[in-house]
Chain A
Amino acid sequence: AQSVTQLDSHVSVSEGTPVLLRCNYSSSYSPSLFWYVQHPNKGLQLLLKYTSAATLVKGINGFEAEFKKSETSFHLTKPSAHMSDAAEYFCVVSEWIGTASKLTFGTGTRLQVTL
């Protein structure tokens, strides 16, 4: 079975400084990986998706993630944090079961952005 591990449950950065949210994956084949963001009392918004076309994936709101097979990692980064980035971030792997796709979520990383 596919799985993801988010290495930090909570990350705090100052506004304007870089963001790094870490994720390792476990997969028996080349996976599809995602990052989703969830603002308080809101649904999940897709930030970006990796599907093996390119190892560096650019997403919305200035976020990007790099797929590193040798390290089984898919870390999310942003050069400069904004107050509006404060939210819960989930690393996700998809698993195909026949023709159905099941998403498996990590436990989440809460990003706090301070002035």
Chain B
Amino acid sequence: DAGVTQSPTHLIKTRGQQVTLRCSPKSGHDTVSWYQQALGQGPQFIFQYYEEEERQRGNFPDRFSGHQFPNYSSELNVNALLLGDSALYLCASSWGTLEADTQYFGPGTRLTVL
């Protein structure tokens, strides 16, 4: 049973560029959440997708956007990158509504903005 997968593993970008991160949920899961983990801190909620719609959003600017596809996979897009966007980006998947809070995490994508 494949767990949550994310790509790429590492990414280096320069300020002002745009980046797309990808996530495939655990088999049987239909909900995807994205988190940002800055160095030495706990993860911060970015947003959650269900049925191809953004269901809830954390305190992140509109430069952060996402998408969920019919096969439940998801993308996180960040525009106009800032140095402060350097972080580990984690994708988590869960099932349905009642169990949406039991989230399983992928290994993350480490983004470095120079």
- Inter-chain CA distance A107–B58, complex, in Å, is 17
Min C-beta distance of A49 to chain B, whole Å: 6
Taking CB as reference atom, which chain A residue is nearest B4? A43
A69 CB–B CB distance under 8 Å:
no
- Inter-chain CA distance A42–B108, complex, in Å, is 7
User: Could you say which of A56-64, A77-85, A89-97 contacts chain B?
Assistant: A89-97
What are the residues of chain B within 8 A of A44 when measuring CB–CB? 43, 90, 92, 105
Q: Contact between B104 and A97 (Cβ–Cβ < 8 Å)? A: no
Select A100's contact among B56, B90, B105, beta carbons within 8 Å: B56
> What is the size, in residues, of chain A's interface with B at 8 Å between Cβ atoms?
23
Taking CB as reference atom, which chain A residue is nearest B54? A100
Q: Contact between B55 and A99 (Cβ–Cβ < 8 Å)? A: yes
Q: Contact between A105 and B43 (Cβ–Cβ < 8 Å)? A: yes
Main secondary structure of the interface of A (DSSP, over half): strand
B72 CB–A CB distance under 8 Å:
no
A45 CB–B CB distance under 8 Å:
yes
Main secondary structure of the interface of B (DSSP, over half): strand
> What is the size, in residues, of chain B's interface with A at 8 Å between Cβ atoms?
26
What are the residues of chain A within 8 A of B105 when measuring CB–CB? 36, 43-46
Min C-beta distance of B36 to chain A, whole Å: 11
- Inter-chain CA distance A98–B48, complex, in Å, is 12
Chain B CB count within 10 A is highest, among A46, A98, A101, for: A101
Known: A46-B104, A96-B101. A102 touches B42 (CB 8 A): no
What are the residues of chain A within 8 A of B45 when measuring CB–CB? 102-104
Known: A100-B50, A103-B103. A90 touches B42 (CB 8 A): yes
B106 CB–A CB distance under 8 Å:
yes
- Inter-chain CA distance A96–B56, complex, in Å, is 10
Chain B CB count within 10 A is highest, among A94, A98, A100, for: A100
- Inter-chain CA distance A23–B92, complex, in Å, is 23
A98-B56, A108-B41 given; 5 more Cβ-contact pairs under 8 Å:
A32-B101, A42-B107, A43-B90, A102-B48, A103-B92
Q: Pick 9 A–B contacts, CB within 8 A, sort by A.
A: A45-B105, A90-B42, A97-B56, A99-B55, A101-B48, A101-B103, A103-B33, A103-B45, A106-B42
